[in-house]
Every structure is written in C-alpha cells, then in structure tokens.
Structure 1
C-alpha cells in the first residue's frame, strides 16, 4: 500500500509518501531534495520488508515553504515530518549525496531517533582542497548556469532553479555538517557508507578528500563500514540499487 500526503510541519506542508510495512526506513534524496520519484527502484524494493518514507524538502517539488538556509533547518524539518507521520522510531536513515549531509546532522543532533545510517555516495563534509576563491567561484558559476538554463523554460525549469539554490549554499552546508559532526559525533549504530566505484575524472586531491571523508564517516561508529558499488556512478540507486537494498537490510538486522 502506498499513500501520498501533504504534512503540516509548522506553517507549511511537506509532500511525503509512505509505503510498505515493517521497521521504519527514511530516504533523503540528493540534489535540491526532490525525494519522490528520484530513487529509482529502491523504495519499492525496501517496501517489501520495511515502512518506507520518501519526501520533498521544503520549497522543493510539491512541498510548501522555502528552501532552507541551513542543514540544521532541513534536519529539523525532517524530524517534524516523522513525528507528524507518527512513525515508529527509531528509524534507519538513508541519505544520498546532499541527503547524506542532512541525515548526518539529524543523527548527530537526535541520536535517539536513529537505528542506523546508510549514506549513499554522500557529499563530503568540510573544506575541499584547493583555492577558496576558485572553489567559491565555481559554485557561484554553476548556480548561475543552472538559473540561465531554467530561464529558457521547459518542464525542468523549476528543478533547475531549486538545484541552483542548493549549489549556491553548498560550501556553507559542507562546513556546517563538518562542524556538527565534530561537536556531536554520530550515534553508535550500524553505519554503511556506500561509495561509487565509477568516478568521473577529477583532481587527485579532490578524490582523496572524498575518499577520506567516506572512511572517516564509517569510522565514527564502532559498527561502521565502507561498501564500494563497483559498477555504479554517483547514481548508485539507479546503477546498483541492490547495493542500497542489501546495506539497509544488513543495518536492520544489525
């Protein structure tokens, strides 16, 4: 059974979908936070043994409000959503890409809600290597290009504008997540960090930074482990969904 709901989280509503039955598993999507319809076959596969929640973040997709200015705001929105859904907590949180930042902050601030973490090729926290000026300029330029493409119209115009907002705030989000992780750590629950096995060409220092962050994430839990999706690009839920399904099942059993 699948139900879609607009759930009031305090002045605006988030669009959420609940399906399946069993222990709770919450999916937080990448990019701008459009969770519904972006996970490929993963939600349906998980629904065979879990109650699965997917949602769009504030200001994205069919959700109301405006796009949050901080990762803490996004995590707090998710917490209000799960309580409004009367979900049986603690839950396994699954964060893909930027969603990995949101779920880390949620787990660090509200460990009592979290039974386990599966981080799917998560965005690296902290400060990437290289020039701060070049790094900041690249995010500004990427956001500008997305807005320019959105100005041409078409059905992807709104998602492009939403993604532009996310990219513009990416350096702050990465720094915020690193700070909260350092202050609070992660709860001692099972943690699986899935890293993509097929990377696009990138500077060696950048790749080493990403790899080191994934390893550091797993090391924050005594029950943490890095898994490599050998045949997947960053689009792990589409390229190798079975790796996500297996990791969630393993965490639930743990």
Structure 2
C-alpha cells in the first residue's frame, strides 16, 4: 500500500510540474509575441487581394531577380545576404509567402497556381521591372513551374537551387519515398507553438555566427506566425507536387540547375548506408532530369555544399545570378 501511495504522489508531483511548465511556456510565448510585434520590418508592403504581403527590393532597373524560398518559416531571410551582396544595377526581389514572417495569411488557398498569382501581383504592385529571373530553392524551385506556366512572357531565366523534383516516386523506392515525404509532425508543432517550445526548437536554423545575427533574431521571434502557414503548405504538398509534375517544359527559357554535392549531407537523418546511397543516387538523377525542362540548360554541382547552398556556398548562387543577368541582357 505504501508503494502505491508513493507512486500516486510521484505521479501527482510530475503532473503539477508539467502543468507549471505549460503555464510558464504559455506566458513566455505571450510575452515573446508581444515583443515580436515591435520588430521593424526590413522591407516594404503591398496589398495583394485584400491582404498585405512583405517584400525586400534592392537595386534599380531590369531585369528583376526574384527569389523564391524553400518550405521554410524563414521566408525572405534565406536570401538576405545574397541579395545584399549582389550588384545594384539591376533589381533583386525577395518576399514572404502569405502567412510567413511579416506577410498576412489572407484567404487564398495554398495551391501552386495561387501562390504564383500572388507573387506576380506583388511584383507588379512593387513596380519590379520585367523581365523576371526566377531563383527557387528546394520547394521554391518547384513553385517556379507554376509561375513559368502562367506568365511565360514575363520570365527571362530560371535558376533552380537544389530544387525539389515533383515526381520523385519515379526515382525512389517505396520505403525511401515514404521516408522523405513524411513531413513535419504538424500536431506536435502546433501544440509546441502555443507553449513557447517551437521558437526554442527552431532558434538555430541559421549558422550561429555574427553574420546571421539578424536572421537568428527575427525568424524565431516571428515563428508563431510562420509555423501555421508553413504547416499549411505541408498539408497541400502532395497536391502541389502532383500539379507541378504536369509542368514539364520551360521551352527555351535559359535554365541553370545548381546541385548540392556534399556526399555526407544525409548522414544526420539516414543511418542505413544502403538507403543513404539510394538517396544520393536518386537525387543526382532527379537533378539531371531537371535539365530537360529547358532546351537551354546547364548544371553546376557544388562539391562542399549541403541542401542549403545559399548558406554553405552563397557565392555560387551570386555568380549564377550575375551570369544569367548578363546572358539575357546581352541578347
């Protein structure tokens, strides 16, 4: 009987500790959100179909290099340093998709076509000079397909940065396909977002260096806004991939495919060597197949970079952008 009493006491004590932690986390989150509202946006806003969208525009004149972010709550911050480093004799443009960072969520569905429409309208509202060079990383690379399909006359070039391949089931075994498409634990992250744990989990998305101090302060602070929209994009991922797979040609629009080449980039989450080798080989095949999107395409493999080439080897992207600008303006 004494053991049962002690077990009950311990269980009650643990329950009280959990409740106190949740209350503390909830208060911490409320205070953090209040402080986050005081952070001054680094860009500008435009009204897009009854909601405000945030963008960062640098330089003057055409063409406009348009950066599309991955499946990522950091929004335009992933391109921040690259955009600042590029020349100012043409325009560069990054933005936060609806619901991410400083952009309002709005009411449009998270479909590839709607996201392309919002971006196009935002570019026009921001007076970004045409034509556009689209630069898309990962999921953002896949989203460029919708923009090219809907606005082909406005697109002068495309740069895919370790882009997602929508029909990945062609190159992956069922086991690997399930593994790479399982996504984030949405229910848990929504719960963690209420009680302050999510911002702690994602506080080191960028390198912990002085160079990334701005990104490391803004992204976690505004995660409470970005998390829901990012998870909503995940909910629509299967449909977006299926639709993107039907867009299989950019015509003769110049296309650069930049591919991560670090053979150890999957070591942290794929322990089985056979599966890791399968993923490396499949990714290489998918990246090469992306070249078939255009009659004018070339690939650059970045040996010492993982998936986030914009952090690991930003100069490769900067050189590709400058080369593409030169290519389309010399004509």
Q: Which TM class, normalised by the smaller chain length?
A: 0.7 to 0.9
Question: How far apart in 2 are the matches of 1:41 and 1:148?
Answer: 32
Partner of 2:69: 29
Question: How far apart in 2 are the matches of 1:24 and 1:173?
Answer: 25
How far off its partner does 1:134 sit? 7.5
Partner of 1:162: 229
Q: State TM-score, norm by structure 1.
A: 0.87
Partner of 1:53: 93
How far off its partner does 1:213 sit? 2.5
How far off its partner does 1:150 sit? 2.2
Q: 1:33 to 1:96 in 2, by over 3 A?
A: farther
Question: How far apart in 2 are the matches of 1:134 and 1:116?
Answer: 30
Partner of 1:214: 287
Alignment of 1:147-226 (within 5 A): 147-153=190-196, 154=199, 155=221, 156-179=223-246, 181-182=247-248, 185-198=249-262, 199-201=265-267, 202=270, 203=275, 204-226=277-299
Question: How far apart in 2 are the matches of 1:67 and 1:237?
Answer: 29
Among 131, 134, 139, the residue aligned to 2:174? 131
Partner of 2:34: none
Which one has a larger percent strand, Structure 1 or Structure 2?
1
Structure with greater Cα Rg: 2
Q: State TM-score, norm by structure 2.
A: 0.68
> When the two structures are aligned, how many residues end up with a matched partner?
250
Consecutive aligned runs of 4 or more in structure 1 exceeding 6 Å deviation: none
CA contact (8 A) 1:16 1:56 kept: yes
Partner of 2:133: 92
Question: How far apart in 2 are the matches of 1:145 and 1:138?
Answer: 17
How far off its partner does 1:222 sit? 2.1
Q: Which moved more, 1:127-136 or 1:107-116?
A: 127-136
Partner of 1:43: 83
Which one has a larger percent helix, Structure 1 or Structure 2?
2
How far off its partner does 1:141 sit? 5.6
Partner of 2:185: 142
CA offsets 1:143-185 (integer angstroms, 9 cap, x no match): 3343343243143444333332222322222211111x13xx1
CA offsets 1:41-67 (integer angstroms, 9 cap, x no match): 210122444211111111221112157
How far off its partner does 1:91 sit? 1.1
Query: What RMSD in Å do the two structures reach over aligned CA positions?
Result: 2.6
Unpaired runs of at least 5, structure 2: 1-41, 200-220
